[in-house]
C-alpha cells in the first residue's frame, strides 16, 4: 500500500488491511456540466498553488539580504578567488586549498612552457638574484656580454625595481629592449 512494513514491530507488519482502498475518492469527482448527471474528475491543483505566497526560489534566497541562506549551505562551483591580500606561505600544506595566484590554469597544464619542461618555473624567473648569479646564468645559456655591456644591462635592470632588485625576468626584458632599440637604429641608418 505504499508503506514499508515496520521491521521493529513484526505484529504490525503481518496484519493485512481488510478494507480495499479506492484510487479515486468520491470528493475527486465533479459534474461535467451544471445540471447534468455525468461526472468527471476535478482539475487537480498544483501543490505550489496553495503555498504560492510562502514559496521562495533558491536564487531569491541566495540574493536576499535579510534572513538569507548562509553561504556554507549551498555548493560552490568554479574557480576560487585569488587571495592577493595575504602572502603565500613558503611551505604549503597539502590541506591548504587557498589560491594565492601562483598556480597555473588548465591551459598551462595542457601546454607547458619550454622552460617548464626543463624544470625552470615562473617563480625562478622572478626570484631576486645577485650580480654574480645573473652573470653565471647568462653565461650558461650562451649569452656572451663584455663586462661593460653586462654593467650597462645590470644598471638598467636595477632601475626597473624601486629597491634596485634584479631578477632573470628583468634582465630578459632589458636585453629585449636593447635588441629592439638596435634593430630600430639599424633600420633608420639604412
Domain ranges of the chain: 126-189
pTM of the full structure: 0.45
The three grid cell numbers given for residue 103, joined into one nine-digit string = 598556480
Provide the pLDDT for residue 171. Answer: 93
Reduced DSSP (H G I as helix, E B as strand, rest coil) percent helix, strand, coil of the chain, to 5? 40, 5, 55
Burial class (CB in 10 A: 0-12, 13-18, 19+), 163: exposed
In which residue ranges of the chain is pLDDT below 50? 4-15, 17
Provide the pLDDT for residue 13. Answer: 44
SS3 140: helix
CA distance 25 to 97: 58
Q: What is the DSSP letter of 41?
A: E
Provide the pLDDT for residue 71. Answer: 61
For domain 126-189, which CATH number applies: 1.10.10, 3.30.160, 1.10.238, 3.30.70?
1.10.238
Q: Rounded to 5 degrees, what are φ and ψ at 159?
A: -75, -15
- Residue for grid cell 650562451: 142
- Residue 86: which H helix or E strand, with range? none
Burial class (CB in 10 A: 0-12, 13-18, 19+), 170: buried
Provide the pLDDT for residue 66. Answer: 56
Provide the pLDDT for residue 46. Answer: 62
Provide the pLDDT for residue 15. Answer: 46
Provide the pLDDT for residue 92. Answer: 86
The three grid cell numbers given for residue 14, joined into one nine-digit string = 503481518
Provide the pLDDT for residue 137. Answer: 92
Amino acid at each position: 500500500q505504499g508503506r514499508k512494513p515496520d521491521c521493529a514491530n513484526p505484529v504490525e507488519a503481518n496484519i493485512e488491511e481488510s478494507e480495499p482502498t479506492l484510487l479515486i475518492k468520491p470528493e475527486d469527482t465533479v459534474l461535467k456540466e451544471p445540471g447534468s448527471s455525468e461526472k468527471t474528475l476535478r482539475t487537480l491543483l498544483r501543490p505550489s498553488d496553495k503555498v504560492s505566497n510562502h514559496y521562495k526560489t533558491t536564487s531569491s534566497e541566495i540574493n536576499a539580504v535579510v534572513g538569507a541562506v548562509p553561504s556554507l549551505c549551498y555548493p560552490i562551483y568554479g574557480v576560487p578567488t585569488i587571495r592577493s591580500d595575504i602572502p603565500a606561505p613558503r611551505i604549503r600544506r597539502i590541506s591548504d586549498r587557498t589560491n594565492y595566484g601562483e598556480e597555473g590554469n588548465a591551459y598551462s597544464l595542457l601546454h607547458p612552457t619550454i622552460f617548464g619542461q626543463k624544470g625552470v618555473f615562473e617563480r625562478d624567473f622572478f626570484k631576486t638574484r645577485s650580480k654574480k648569479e645573473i652573470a653565471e646564468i647568462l653565461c650558461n645559456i650562451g649569452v656572451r656580454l663584455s663586462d661593460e655591456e653586462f654593467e650597462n644591462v645590470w644598471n638598467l635592470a636595477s632601475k626597473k625595481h624601486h629597491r634596485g632588485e634584479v631578477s632573470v625576468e628583468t634582465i630578459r626584458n632589458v636585453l629585449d629592449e636593447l635588441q629592439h632599440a638596435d634593430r630600430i637604429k639599424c633600420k633608420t641608418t639604412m
